[in-house]
Every structure is written in structure tokens, then in C-alpha cells.
Chain A
């Protein structure tokens, strides 16, 4: 009998913060008062916030117990499609916590902050090399923020040519952030369908591309895990009408050292450092979404930009055509340090190898599960593969039931019900940091679940059973929102 990682164990209950503690406790060593108390304008003064008073032990136990209710990459395989949940190296955490970085005020004079400026300058160069673009800005704080930066660049480019545009082409397989980011810039998204091979057809693009259209937002590899094979031709169609091509680089983990984004006609691309470049996701951020551009868009990049002058690094705002500032300071520097640490640890060869192994793992899962789960598209996949619950529908078992059961086996579920073009989608992205043994165990789990779907459907519908909480009533949560205590 195979031993799956999922099991039960003693998990401890823990109330909400304000349901414990007692007035008069503290978990903080208040600094010595070495100045006298000064009068204060009483009309402004309040009683202070209604926070609980807790001891340090109260706080530690509270959060340790909470942490044990979470699944994480450090505890097991997390094949969440489109999210690139690769291992987050611990050396990155060591580097970011160095006092010179952690304690640095963002408005230090440049000559007193050379180290971090140099790091940012070099990281830009690395990202430019990896993508094959010409210049980069590290300022966007997340992928969607990078998309917004990209759309602002589109807007600024056409405005500089005296002809702002009103529409943008977005494929039906795009992340929801794409149309939302475009809409923030006043663009009307025009949806384009992918073809029967799961990719974009040049003739479909050419039918809707016109002089009112700012360009196209393409995710490549796309959210079906397929490479957009016609990208060069599509870029030519868009460029012929003076449109621009945006690439959502969320899936860059498949093609590092393999595809040259600049050469295939991409004008702007954002990267997710918290995906491809190993910085942890933190339960929902912080991330970082640098944008890389070709030469003709460089003048519009956000300010300030890190420049090098006579061997010194400086922050310069002297870019009159810039779209302006996107972040209070320079972006999520802590995440940038982690990405820099990762790139230097990996080097060129290992980055390329990481992409190859990410694709190897996905292709292997696809091969091993294609007789068990329905495969949406038969073409060779890149870093992720997309199945659906079509084969299980006869047993009245859904994607949701299957992935909830997967938790009991000790795996985090894949991304589900996305992309929207595949009903009941199960999108699996193993990443390169999973070993063959763990992947085999994952495959066996999925097969075991498919068997249970035939023989013991109740097991799936009632899953998960090993987790601290079982299925939660999301409808009730939305109908009568309780958002605070």
C-alpha cells in the first residue's frame, strides 16, 4: 500500500485575537521614556484603538496555531496552474534581511544607497537579457500593476503620436486582470476566441485589428499551457496598423533561455518575480511585476529610473515623456532582492534548465493522466497542462469534488474552472522543483480519485475530511457579509 502524504493529526483550536487576552497585558517591550510628557491639543485626542491586550506567549501561540491550518509549498506539492508555485529558496530570505537593506530609508541620498541602486540596476539588466527586451522598470508592485504599467505605456505611445486609441484585443483565455487593467486605461477590451488548437489564429486578429485598436494583450505561453505559435505573424498584423503587442509574462517559467521575446514582436512584457523568480507568494503577496520594453517604448517608462553615471548609480526623473510614478517609492525592493539572489544562484544554464524541467514535469503529468482525465487540447504542452471533469460527469462528480478529495491525499489542488474556455478545467502546473517521486505520487493520487469517482462518489462529495475545516458555505458568506469582528 502506497503512503500518500495526506493524514490527520492533532491540530489545535484557536479563537479570534480579541476573544483572548486581558487588559493590562502586553507583547511589546516599550522603549524607555527619556523625554518628559508634553501638552497636547485635547480636541484632537482619542482613547486609542480598541485592540486586545495580549502577552508575547498569547501572540506566538495564536499565530503558530493559525499557521498550522495552512498548506504551503514548504509542506507539499502545490500544482496551482498559472501561479508557478516553485520552491522559494531560503538564501533569498537571508539576503533580504541584511540590515543594510531591511533598514534602508527610501529617501537616502544616492551616495549613501549605492548598494541597493546597483542591485536594482543589475537586476534590470538581467531581466532585459532573460526576456530579450531592451529596457525595464522594476516599479510595478504585482503582475496586474505591471499590466497597468503596460497599458499606460500603450496609451502614452499613441498619445505621443497624436492619435490615442480606444480598443484593445484580449483573447478569451486571458487572465481576468488583462481586461481589468486595460479598462483602467479607458480601453474597451475586444474579446478574440482561440481556435480549435487552443491558440490564436492570425486571420482572426487581422479581422478585428484596426486603427482604433491600441494593440493586443497576449499571454504566451497561454493559459492553456500552449505556446502561441503564430505570435510573430500576429505581431506583424498588429504592428502594420501601428498597434502594440503586450505579453503577459506570467508563464515565463516555461521559456527562459528558450524564447527571445523581443525578436518575436513583443513590445511590452511584464514578469511576475513571485512566480518565475522564486520569491514567495506570502498567502497573497507581496509580489513584483517589472515591465520590460523594446527601445521605442523606453522613453515612457515610469520614473524615477536607476541610471549609471561616472561609476555611480542614481535615481533620475529626467524622462519628460514618462508615464509618471506608479509606486510611492521604487517598487517592492524586498522582492527584487530575492529575485536578484535567485538569478545569481542559478546562473544562465540553470535558468534554462529550470524551464526545461518545468516543461518536462508538466508533459510527464499530461502523458500519465491523459487516459484518466479528459485532456482539453492534445497538443504538446509547455509548463502546465489543462484537463477537465468530462470523463467523470457520468458519475455526477465535478472538478470541485475531485480537487477537494486531492486535499485528503495531501496535495494542494490545481487551479480549477480556469481558463474559462475549458468547462470544468483542472489546470496543473507542477514547476521544476518537484521531484519525479512526488510527481508520481500526485499522479497516483489523481488516478485513485478517478477510481473513487466510479466506486465511491460520496467520498468525493464529502471531501475534504482531513482538513481542519470541511467545505465552507461561500454563498452564505457573500449573501450576508461579515467582514470584521
Chain B
């Protein structure tokens, strides 16, 4: 086997040095009744060629562009990833190193993550960002737990327009605690109805997502004000950070924590993971932040360098009193996001965001012209909700056969929204793809 370098001679020499006769004799401390009796039942080892063939067969069953036109967003977005980003991300020195516990020989990862923290903080308009969480869902769940720790209150108000999967993850994280999750409904305009907050007391956080699950831009000013009036933290989630290339970011509305999914920033969708949990907060809460932080310092010769810092918050020091149990995070995904943000650049990011917006507006325009109702009036980013006529399900299935995935049916997430679909277009969708979609829907 090509990953196992030992020759029979090596093995004999090493066994002899240890003073045992065979490889089996290396396990004297494993009691006989703890040992496996039969062999593993795995398939026979494949050669590299056979494996390629097998994987290609599996991979070819998947509906992906360009064979399919996929108008799905809902927390996972198709953005063009420059070749330079993928190339840099394959560097062994980044890929095959561990968490940078030994800073002298990990300055590459450390500086890159310091830069990621900086670009993230700038994008979200926040003071500090951590080195990453697993995904948008765990980010927002940890944000709410952090708010509970800071305020010592046990109630969190969570918008119904936060990604339904994220809300399920929040419920899982909160299930063994004695905290209560209160759901905030949505308005006719397609944004969170905050009026319920007036009657709530002992609130730890008000959490909304912007753009929300319907693609609509939330009134972050009001959600922050409502939260702060109740001495609760304003938590702003997101699934599409590219929106902050043109829309005002959470920090400009006095958010205490901004957290969400960074997959859009140069990370392939790969059936939903690995993705990137982005997490940022106000400076005053820095010692309550979960996860790793990279900080700037100097070496013994006074030269600038970077280290993991404020580790006393973390599990390996604080154990059960840590701010989180997270250890391995999504460092390589953070690196991808950083390279992507650096490549697109400030000017490019703004232009790219606007292009996404305009493509979506074009689709809206075409749908309206074709006579379909767009039930929510609020401004959106690259997603929209459309109401199709009764019985559209058949058309949807027909379109699948024509290799068009006409968005996400919303009914299973929002039972009141039968025949409503969430459609997404990004810069990768050409005008003619959009035209084809509308034409096929109409016919």
C-alpha cells in the first residue's frame, strides 16, 4: 500500500528493537475479550484507477450546472470561484498543517486568519471577528448561547425568517437548557414582525436574518432598537454575505453580534458542507466570544508576528467553563473566504453585489410581466419569493425533466405558503437562462 512505507525488513528490525515477535504482539494490553474476532467486512481495496471510475460514476448522477439550470439558493449559493482561489487553496502548506499551536512555524496560517478576521469585521461592520465556526447554523446557535451568558437572561426571540434549518439547529442546541425560544412572525412585506417584543421581558437576544430566508432586507435599525430597549443583544444572522457589498451591514445598525454563513465567499457548495461559520461581535464582548482568535504580537527580536490568543476562554484551558466546546473550526474555509475577498477586492465586491441584485430584479421584472405574483414587497438581494398558480407542482416536475430546477418549494417550511417558491439568481446565471426559466414556466 502506497501510504504505508514499511518494508518487511523495517518491520522485523523495529519489532526486534522493541523486543516482540510479531505485529500482533504489540497489543498485550488489549484484553482478549475486547478484541474483534472476525475481519472487517469492507470492500476489497481499489486501485487509484478503479476508485476514479467509481467516484466518477457517483458524481455523474448529480444535477449540477452547466447540464442543469439550478435556481436554488436558500443558504447555498452558486458564485464563480476564480481559478487563482482554488489554486492557492490547494497549497499543501495550508492544507496539511494542524491548528497553529506552534506559532514560529505556523505564521502563514496565523497571518492569513488575522487577515480573515479583519476582512470579516470590515465586511460586517463589527469590531472583532473570530477565526470561524462550522457553519451559519452553529454560528447563530452559539451567538444566542453567548447572549444568554452575557445578559444572564433565558429567553431569546428568533425571527421565523431565519433559515428554517438554522432554527432547527438552534432548537437542538437549546433543548437540554432551560432557555425559551420565542418565535417572531413575519409581516405582509416579508420581514420580521417585531411587535411581539414589546410584551416580552427577561430577554437575552433578538435574532433576525438579513437578507432573510425570503431574500428580503430586514429593518435592522428597529430590531436593534427593540432589543436594546429590552436590554437584550441584537443578533443579526445572514446566509448571503455578498449582500453587504451593496447593503448596509449589521454593524451600521448597532448589532451586538453578526453571524452567519460564508459559503458564498469562494467555497464550493459540496452538498452543503464544509461551509464557513462567520462570527463577529462588539469589542466589549470579546472575552465571551466562542472559538479561536488570532492576535498580533512581536517575537523576541521585536518583529511583527501572530499567535492564537485569549485562550483562557477556550475548552483546552477552561474545560467545562469554556465559552464553547469548539476546537477544530473551519480554518481552510476561512482562508478560502479571505483569498476570495482579496481577489474580488473592495471595488469588485460592490460591483459584483450590484450585478447579483440586478439579475434578481430582472427575474422579478420578467415574472411580473408574465403575470405572476410576488407577494413580498420589501427590497431583496439575489432571492425572491414568487406565488405560482395552483397545480404548479406538475410544471415543476416537468421542468426537472428539462433540467431546470425552478427554485425551492416553500410549503414544507411554511405550510401557509402553498405554491410559493424561493428562486435564486447569482452572477453565474446568464440573462438567457433567466429568460428560458420564465418561458418554460409560462408554457
Contact = CB atoms under 8 A, between A and B. Distances in A.
Contact of B29 (A152, A352, A379): A379
A28 B342 CA distance: 9
Given A99-B59, A472-B299, A27 B84 contact: yes
Contact of B246 (A14, A23, A46): A46
Interface residues of A, number: 202
A335 B95 CA distance: 13
Contacts of A94: 52
A143 interface: yes
Contacts of B329: 142, 284-286
B439 interface: no
Given A284-B99, A286-B330, A482 B94 contact: no
Contacts of A93: 90
B98 A286 contact: no
A364 B110 CA distance: 34
B51 A341 contact: yes
B30 A258 contact: yes
A320 interface: no
Given A24-B347, A49-B245, A333-B272, A473 B286 contact: no
B107 A468 contact: yes
A473 B51 CA distance: 48
Contacts of A323: 172, 175
B59 A282 contact: no
A297 to B, nearest CB: 16
B328 A144 contact: yes
Contacts of A80: 98, 101
A62 B177 CA distance: 45
Contacts of A129: 40-42
Interface string A370-393: 000000000110100000000000
Given A113-B61, A116-B271, A326-B172, A471 B104 contact: yes
Contacts of A141: 134-135, 138, 273-274, 330
Contact of B76 (A46, A255, A329): A329
B122 interface: yes
Interface stretch (A203-211, A238-246, A433-441, A447-455): A433-441
A26 B347 contact: yes
Given A105-B269, A351-B40, A364-B18, A85 B98 contact: yes
Contacts of B428: 31
Interface string A179-201: 11111111011000000000000
B30 A255 contact: yes
B202 interface: no
Interface stretch (B182-190, B223-231, B315-323): B315-323
B359 A180 contact: no
A477 B295 contact: yes
A177 B315 contact: yes
Size band of the interface chain B makes with A: 35 or more
A236 to B, nearest CB: 12
Nearest to A272: B328
Contact of A432 (B4, B95, B132, B349): B4
B343 A28 contact: yes
A484 B118 contact: yes
Given A16-B111, A357-B4, A67 B117 contact: no
B410 to A, nearest CB: 12
B372 interface: no
A4 interface: no
Interface in A1-52: 14, 16-18, 21, 23-31, 33-38, 40-41, 44-52
A51 B346 contact: yes
A17 B135 contact: no
Contacts of B296: 477, 482-483, 485
A147 B310 CA distance: 23
A186 B177 contact: yes
Interface centre among B1, B13, B55, B175 (most CB of A within 10 A): B55
Interface in B363-393: 365, 379
B246 A40 contact: yes
Nearest to B86: A97
Contacts of A109: 63, 400, 405
Contact of B328 (A182, A284, A331, A467): A284
Contacts of A31: 80, 352, 355, 427-428
A299 B62 CA distance: 29
B358 A38 contact: yes
A16 B115 contact: yes
Interface string B295-321: 111111101011101111011111111
A330 B287 CA distance: 31
Interface string A196-228: 000000000000000000000000000000110
A470 B163 CA distance: 46
B70 A181 contact: no
B44 interface: yes
A444 interface: no
A471 B245 CA distance: 39
Interface stretch (B151-159, B192-200, B332-340): B332-340
Interface in A338-363: 341, 343-354, 356-357, 359-361, 363
A92 to B, nearest CB: 10
A290 interface: no
Considering the complex of A and B, which 10 residue pairs feature the smallest CB-CB distances, nearest first?
A: A329-B272, A347-B45, A106-B272, A282-B332, A100-B59, A284-B331, A48-B350, A115-B58, A286-B274, A74-B92
Given A51-B123, A60-B87, 12 more contacts: A46-B247, A103-B64, A109-B405, A143-B327, A186-B176, A232-B34, A259-B36, A285-B333, A327-B138, A471-B299, A474-B103, A483-B294
22 contacts: A35-B359, A51-B345, A59-B88, A69-B105, A69-B108, A73-B96, A88-B95, A100-B61, A102-B269, A116-B58, A152-B172, A176-B318, A184-B173, A282-B331, A283-B335, A328-B75, A330-B271, A337-B55, A337-B270, A341-B51, A356-B24, A359-B26
